[in-house]
Amino acid sequence: MSQIHFVGAGQMAEAIIRAAQKRGAVSASQITLADIDDGRIATLRDRYQLTSALNDSEALAAADYIVIGVRPQDDIDGVARHICQYASPQATVISIIAGVTLERLGAQFGTTRPIVRTIPNTLTDTGFGYSGVVFNAHVKPEPLMPFLESFGKVMLLEERLIDIFTGFAVAGVNYVYYFIESLTDAGVLSGLSRPQASKVVWENLIGGVEMLKTSGLHPRQLMDINNSPAGVGINGLYELNNSDFAAGLQRSVMTAVRRTTELSGSKPA
Ligand SMILES: NC(=O)C1=CN([C@@H]2O[C@H](COP(=O)(O)OP(=O)(O)OC[C@H]3O[C@@H](n4cnc5c(N)ncnc54)[C@H](OP(=O)(O)O)[C@@H]3O)[C@@H](O)[C@H]2O)C=CC1
Ligand SMILES: O=C(O)[C@@H]1CCC=N1
């Protein structure tokens, strides 16, 4: 990886910088930043010891890769005009913006420019979690892969699947956090202390995933092993079946997918 310039230095850009530095995919001297908020640039320069002395137009001109980390509702047209004024036509644009299509990015950044559309996962610090990635026809993937793989596992997708991936996979860790919180509360409600309940929930979660991996069985088969006839577990599950648990979860994912597609359009609130 050579010079990389981030436009929009928010939460996600920072998470990418932190992971890419930690895994040695980029060094502090290779990173430059632009953001509406100068204070934010100063904070990140200080926090990650960024050393480049280039000003904004020089940094754009020197960049081999330009990561667009603004929000879908921000002035992407203005950002693109500014970038095209100074950046090399060969510089690869890497958009992490939810919902914004390669077609729209091509219209803004140039139809012959290499453009990557990716949706990274916030699990950047862990080595877990997939980024969904789509390349246009002008991208040379090989030199780019170490950078992309430094902040998540890479799942190459057809573009028609990336909004689904955003609402299901990238937003998906929300459900895990929420499930852990709700289940821990259930343990506390039943009389365990919070540390006791929390330990049990984490262990069950990790152990359940490990059982699925090692046994190769379907979750329903493992549930069958976990429930004796007329016993404790099946009585608990019966109550859950009377709730909106599965359908509520599924509606929630469908809504997140729909919202991703909505964000690709104009400027929603
Ligand atoms: N957070 C997440 O889980 C994920 C986010 N994404 C995508 O990443 C992108 C960034 O999200 P996130 O980091 O959470 O958002 P943030 O709001 O934290 O970051 C966006 C940054 O861009 C700045 N900005 C806005 N307009 C401009 C501009 N014209 N020029 C330069 N900087 C600008 C903002 O400044 P100010 O706040 O002052 O306006 C802010 O610092 C979004 O497009 C989102 O869809 C993708 C995957 C996961
Ligand atoms: O909430 C968001 O808009 C971003 C994109 C998917 C997950 N986080």
Q: Tens digit of pLDDT for each residue in 2-15?
A: 899 999 999 999 99
What are the pLDDT digits (tens) for 54-110? 999 999 999 999 999 999 999 999 999 999 999 999 999 999 999 999 999 999 999
Count other C-beta atoms under 10 Å from residue 63's C-beta: 25
Q: What percent of the chain has pLDDT over 70?
A: 98
Q: How far is the CA of 193 from the centre of ligand 1 (A)?
A: 39
Q: SS3 sequence, 56-68?
A: HHHHHHHCCEEEE
Element (H, E) at 197: helix 194-215
At residue 268, the pLDDT reads 43
- Closest C-alpha residue for ligand 1 atom 17: 10
Closest ligand to C-alpha of residue 170 is: 2
Given 3.40.50.720, 3.40.190.80, 3.40.50.970, 1.10.490.10, which CATH number is that of 4-158? 3.40.50.720
- Closest C-alpha residue for ligand 1 atom 18: 10
Where does the chain hold its CATH 3.40.50.720 domain(s)? Answer: 4-158
Q: What percent of the chain has pLDDT over 90?
A: 96
Closest ligand to C-alpha of residue 9 is: 1
At residue 1, the pLDDT reads 61
Q: Average of pLDDT values for 11-35?
A: 96
**What superfamily would CATH give domain 173-262?**
ProC C-terminal domain-like (1.10.3730.10)
Where does the chain hold its CATH 1.10.3730.10 domain(s)? Answer: 173-262
At residue 233, the pLDDT reads 96
- Residues 122/173, Cβ–Cβ less than 8 Å: yes
Q: How far is the CA of 11 from the centre of ligand 1 (A)?
A: 7
- Closest C-alpha residue for ligand 1 atom 40: 10
Residues whose CB falls within 8 Å of the CB of residue 31, separated by 6 or more in sequence, listed in order:
4, 5, 6, 17, 21, 48, 50, 52
pLDDT surpasses 70 at 209 = yes
